[in-house]
Amino acid sequence: MRALKSLGLDSVGLARRAGDSIIACDLLDRSRLRDVLREMQPRCVIHCAWETPKSAGDYADVSSGERGLSIIDSLLDATRAPVIYASSMTVYGQNSGQVARSESDAGAPESAYGLAKWRAERLFEDRGAKGFAARLPGLFGGQRKAGLVWAAIDALERGELPTLPKYPVMWAGADVRDVAKALAQLCVEQPMGFTAINLGYSGVHSVSHLVETLSQVYGVDIPYEIKHPEFAFDLELAASHGLIIENDLRSAVLRLKDEWK
């Protein structure tokens, strides 16, 4: 919401508990969501609500994805406003044989989470919605005091070695505040249809690269032998919309390091 305000856009949020500029609304309550949106008549909706996986088991949770799809179905019944949908890099899967992924490469997710995110994109298209499916990396920073990056920094700040994945996983990350600025900018677009767009840091990413970055920032050796697959967003479409994020993973790690203290 701060990113929207910085662009001069008024906004309100929906959550189960009311707060400052937050309206109480359980998004699984179809009638409540319909009533709120019909009263608000939003110019644009940024839809980020989804149950965030915290373990390998969570990525296999089919019921979680069904709840997320149910919310989107209700959202599409309640408003015709353009939607900026927070999708995921998991729609690409990790067995494509290439590192850089363009938007047209999606559609072969391995996890139930990735499949549900992909089905959600198709649902927006099938229902004739306007807007963007913003395909995002794993997010950290801000109020998110959990996840791979934060946990690793927390361990290193306490003089301990971080706990790292025990098997190869496809990963890329970005500070949620950097991504929020790009999502806010999409709200001023006038989409003609529903378009997928990659948003994230440039360059090649992996858990292995993250470990190297942490080792350099903290000046410590982090013994770790697992080789993780590399991933990169093709950001040509993002660039055409002026949405290239200037920060990178190292600067984001340094910011979190400063914020930990």
Q: What is the pTM of this model?
A: 0.93
User: Which residues in the chain come in under a pLDDT of 70?
Assistant: 95-97
What is the pLDDT, as a whole number, of residue 57?
85
What is the pLDDT, as a whole number, of residue 8?
87
Report all structural domains of the chain as residue ranges with CATH numbers, in order of start: 2-260 (3.40.50.720)
Q: Mapped to the 3 state alphabet, what secondary structure does the chain carry?
A: CHHHHHCCCCCCEEECCCECCEEECCCCCHHHHHHHHHHHCCCCEEECCCCCCCCHHHHCCHHHHHHHHHHHHHHHHHCCCCEEEEEEHHHHCCCCCCCEECHHHCCCCCCHHHHHHHHHHHHHHHCCCCEEEEEECEEEECCECCHHHHHHHHHHHCCCCCCCCCCCCCCCEEEHHHHHHHHHHHCCCCCCCEEEEECCCCCCECHHHHHHHHHHHHCCCCCCCCCCCCEEECCHHHHHCCCCCCCCHHHHHHHHHHHHC
What is the pLDDT, as a whole number, of residue 251?
97
What is the pLDDT, as a whole number, of residue 195?
97
